[in-house]
Structure 1
Amino acid sequence: MSTTTTTTAGGVKVVKPTVASHLNDYWGRVRGGDLGSIPAVAGLIVLALIFGVAREQFFSALNFANLFSQSAQVVFIAMGLVFVLLLGEIDLSAGFASGVCGAIMAILLTTHGMAWYVAIPAAMVTGIVIGFLLGFLVAKFGIPSFVVTLAAFLGFQGILLLLLGGGKNISISDEFVLNLANSNLPVGLSWGIALVGVIGYALVQLNNVRSRAARGLVTDPMGIVLMRIAALAIVVLVATAILTQERSINPVLNSVKGVPIVAPIIAVFLVLWTFVLGRTTYGRHVYAVGGNTEAARRAGIPVDRIRISVFVIGSFMASIGGILAVSRANSVDPNTGGSNILLYSVGAAVIGGTSLFGGKGKVINAVVGGAVIAVIDNGMGLMGLESGAKYIFTGIILLIAASVDAFARRRAAATGNR
């Protein structure tokens, strides 16, 4: 590998790979089976081009904005499922758990007349309690997660029916809750958040290079760092430019422009959980337990606590998804969190690059995979295709993603790049 070596004022020698060597190393990892989100991103681009050519309104600012609210519930549930899947576990109850949490919020808002700042935290706490119970049964009683969460899937469906009085629909009118999935930020604030996000990312990347160099650790080439910053800036600023365009059919009566409120909410949780998994001891423990449970136990890692915690995070994120689902629909009913929500959420995590075998995955996988699911559902809807065609096509995409994961694992094992 081609590198350069420099010496700091303190006499510390710092090895600096060149851009060429960094790219060669990255390509070597890809060839060795470490594909990450590459297949999902490539698929997302291809799907967008196909649907954009078939229906020009697919690339409209209005449709682009709609994708955020359409995918929100799936993306948030998938974010939580990434933690569960990293341990090689599964949570089949996440969909209806989100529905139960959404129902709790709706009932507190309507039947009990409570304010949103009471109802929303109550829904989140409900998710945390659900996750703790599931994780406790899996970790302490040794019951397979498939069995525990399948039982919970049925149980939560019944609880949701009981909460809603056998199947009635509860409409909500709280303005704050309704705005979460249905309203947009002001144009000025949209640009302000976009610029702060890009500048913040740039400062974090540059500070990471500086701090690693100061400790004599290998750093990424500055060219690679600048390329990352530029790539993020292009994506964020172009998206903001599109979303701040006028999207209303009749702007004189009702102007609609600005970044959907749900977009920065997704970004905040993406940054939070990415930091937790990538920069904390807890995150390293999650990967360790997912990679080799027995080795992690012998290393002194509290395996049971890690198992319980991932289910807590999973159900907590499901509660956020349920809140946004109720916000988007302006109501809650027995099907909230049901239907294909769970399958789409698991599919989003796997399609994005999270392994079903544990030990491999990132939170960004859920966002990318959720985008793929949303694009398929949205694009095929614009083309007027029936639901059956959507399910078949989504199933094929999921099968391809699982096949890629299996191939990548075999490739990694063959090359010793586990």
Structure 2
Amino acid sequence: MGDAKLVDRADERLKSAAGIGGAILAFLDRVRSGDLGSLPVIIGLIIICSVFQSLNTVFLSPSNIVNLLYDSSTIGVISLGIVCILMVGEIDLSVGSVSGFASALLGVLWVNTGIPVFLAIIAAILAGAVIGLFYAFLFNRFGMPSFVSTLAGLLAVLGLQLYLLGESGSINLPYGSPLVNLGQSLFVPPALAYLLGALAGLALFWRSWRTAARRRNANLSAQSLHILVGRAIVITVVLEAAVFYLNRGRGVPLMLVVFLALVVLLDYALTRTQWGRAVKAVGGNREAARRAGINVRRIYTSAFVLCAVFAAIGGVLSSARLASASQQAGTGDVNLDAIAAAVIGGTSLFGGRGNAYSALLGIIVIQAISSGLTLLDLSSSLRYMITGAVLAIAVIVDSLARRSRVSHGRA
């Protein structure tokens, strides 16, 4: 079937080209029109890594990369929730407190009362869901701005955390338990890690091929088979190279695999389900989404609940990483890093645009800055200033890209 018969290329005023050259031209056209995707953060990450590696050759060593990925996983999971809430044009300022509260609740139920760890984890996650439901109720029923309700929640949930921990202020989790081992010493066997990398490439090809097949059945243009195969091969090679490099050190952390699994699940939900399309519609234009028959209140509720649930999961993983639940859990940089990671990774503050991989890319950028400055033995004040500058640049790029999309009719 020739391109002239395709529905989305029937208008001769539309630019179209086939093959690899056409794909490159289409990519450049999207960039010029403001549809940047993850390009800015990838370029920024390359620059950051190049600078720190030139200043300290330990930065890109396998052992340091493993530590960086470990630290990225806990806050990265919290940032996935921020992606959900930003997608509908709202914000949650209490994710740090919710993660700390979940950590404290886990410690109290598991260590102090003797409840099995699995049930304690479920209870901590459910507590996060209840908090999210309360925020959604305030938003939907009373129209309370999410900035205000979650700021109040930050203080209230922090108070609950301090109350649970009592005068001791901390609870040590049992060393040698599966949860603590997950946070500190469990790595994927090398052969299994290579297999997972290959399966990820195969899954990407299958997903892309099915999308192309559906488009062809709908008489729409689709990427050719050799482009899909080439892209899958390149990504598979990159993944296998990353696994090989990490295996030169301690290996691939199992906690990272948990984080990546959550990224893939959220990406599927946002891109392949009716709920994900509704989230983008509500974030893009709430009134238009309502008139299209979308249950806007239900979408907001799901976003608030998911944000709090991811925060609770992040708190559980953080307690596993530190082998303790303390008053400091969830405080300090957690809120800053979780929100900044989502925005730096490419999730729009204006709503309607973003993806799960925003959290992955953004948190790696933040942890790369932190790790590089630590290796250089520089003041933590520089980390705050650099992270703030990167966040400001990300917001400026997002704003300019949004204007460009509007002017090119892509908003």
In the superposition, the TM-score normalised over structure 1's length comes to 0.91
Letter in 2 for 1:384: D
User: What amino acid is aligned across from residue 230 of structure 2 in structure 1?
Assistant: M
The residue aligned with 1:32 is: 33
Q: Secondary structure at the match of 1:205?
A: helix
> Matches of 1:70 and 1:186 in 2, distance apart?
20
2:220 — aligned with what? 217
1:412 to 391, 405, 408: 405
Conservation of the 8 A alpha-carbon contact between 2:173 and 2:324:
yes
* Percent of aligned pairs with the same amino acid: 36
Q: Distance in 2 between matches of 1:361 and 1:211?
A: 23
Which runs of structure 2 are paired with 1:49-198 in the superposition (5 Å)? 49-166=50-167, 168-173=169-174, 175-182=177-184, 183-198=186-201
- Using the alignment, how far apart are the partners of 1:321 and 1:396 within structure 2? 25
CA contact (8 A) 1:169 1:332 kept: yes
> What RMSD over aligned residues (CA atoms) do the two structures have, in Å?
1.8
Query: What SS does the aligned partner of 1:90 have?
Result: coil
Deviations 1:150-184 (A, max 9, x none): 00011111111001004611110161111222121
Q: Which residue in the other structure is 2:362 paired with? A: 369
2:334 to 317, 335, 341: 341
Unaligned runs of 5+ in 2: 7-15
Could you report, residue by residue, the CA deviation over 1:266-316 in whole angstroms, capped at 9, with x for unpaired residues? 221111111111011111100000000011111111111101110111111
The one-letter code matched in structure 2 to 1:107 is V
Kindly indicate whether the alpha-carbon contact (under 8 Å) linking 1:84 and 1:311 is maintained by their aligned counterparts in 2.
yes
SS in 2 for 1:57: coil
Q: Which residue of 2 aligns with 1:331?
A: 324
| Whole-Å separation in 2 of the counterparts to 1:121 and 1:86 | 26
Q: How does 1:241-256 map to 2 (within 5 A)?
A: 241-245=244-248, 247=249
CA distance in 2, matches of 1:356, 1:272: 22
User: Against the structure 1 CA distance between its residues 6 and 229, is the aligned structure 2 distance closer, same or farther, given a 3 Å change threshold?
Assistant: farther
Q: 1:4 to 1:216 in 2, by over 3 A?
A: closer
- Tell me which residue corresponds to 1:10: none
TM-aligned CA distance change 1:167 to 1:297, over 3 Å:
farther
CA distance in 2, matches of 1:201, 1:392: 38
Partner Cα distance (2:226, 2:32) in 1: 23
Q: What is the CA distance between 1:40 and its match in structure 2?
A: 0.5
1:267 aligned onto 2:260: yes
Number of aligned residue pairs: give it.
399
Rounded Cα–Cα distance in structure 1 between residues aligned with 2:34 and 2:208: 26
Which string of whole-angstrom CA distances, capped at 9 and with x for unpartnered residues, describes residues 44-98 of structure 1? 0110111111111111111111111111222111111111001110100011101
Q: Say if 1:381 and 1:225 are closer, same or farther in 2 by CA, change over 3 A.
A: same
Aligned partner of 1:233 in structure 2 is 236
Inter-partner Cα distance in structure 2 for 1:24 and 1:192:
34
Q: Is the 1:16–1:218 Cα contact (8 Å) retained in structure 2? A: no
Instruction: Indicate the residue corresponding to 1:46 in structure 2.
Output: 47
State the distance in 2 between where 1:123 and 1:220 align. 45
Structure 1 contact 355–361 (Cα < 8 Å) conserved: yes
Is the contact between residue 170 and residue 333 of structure 1 (CA under 8 Å) also seen in structure 2?
A: yes
Letter in 2 for 1:149: T
8 Å CA contact retained: 2:19, 2:227: no
Q: Which among 271, 280, 288 is matched to residue 281 of structure 2?
A: 288
Task: Tell me by how many angstroms 1:128 deviates.
Answer: 1.2
Q: Secondary structure at the match of 1:56?
A: coil
Cα separation, 2, equivalents of 1:334 and 1:348: 23
CA–CA separation in structure 1 for the residues paired with 2:150 and 2:167? 23
Pairwise CA distance, 1:103? 1.3
Q: Which of 202, 206, 226 in structure 2 is aligned with 1:199?
A: 202
Looking at structure 2, the residues matched to 316 and 100 of structure 1 have their Cα atoms a distance apart, in angstroms, of 12
Q: Contact 1:161–1:167 (CA<8 Å) still a contact in 2?
A: no
- Asked whether the 8 Å contact 1:132–1:311 carries over to 2, the reply is yes
Q: C-alpha distance in 2, partners of 1:192/1:22? A: 30
| TM score, norm. by length of structure 2 | 0.93
CA distance in 2, matches of 1:238, 1:149: 42
Q: Is the 8 A contact 1:16 1:221 kept in 2?
A: no
Structure 1 unaligned residues grouped into runs of 5+: 8-14, 248-256
Q: What is the Cα deviation at residue 202 of structure 1?
A: 2.4
What is the CA distance between 1:16 and its match in structure 2? 8.6
Task: Give the whole-Å Cα distance in 2 for the aligned partners of 1:166 and 1:322.
Answer: 21
Residue of structure 2 in register with 1:250 after alignment:
none
Q: Which amino acid aligns with 2:221?
A: V
Q: Which amino acid aligns with 1:52?
A: Q
* 1:384 aligns with one of 377, 392, 404: 377
For residues 145 and 29 of structure 1, the distance between their equivalents in structure 2, rounded to whole angstroms, comes to 33
Query: Residue 86 of structure 2 contacts residue 349 of structure 2 at CA under 8 Å; is this kept in 1?
Result: yes
Structure 2: how far apart are the matches of 1:306 and 1:261?
Answer: 32
Q: Tell me if the contact between 1:36 and 1:353 (Cα under 8 Å) persists in the aligned partners.
A: yes
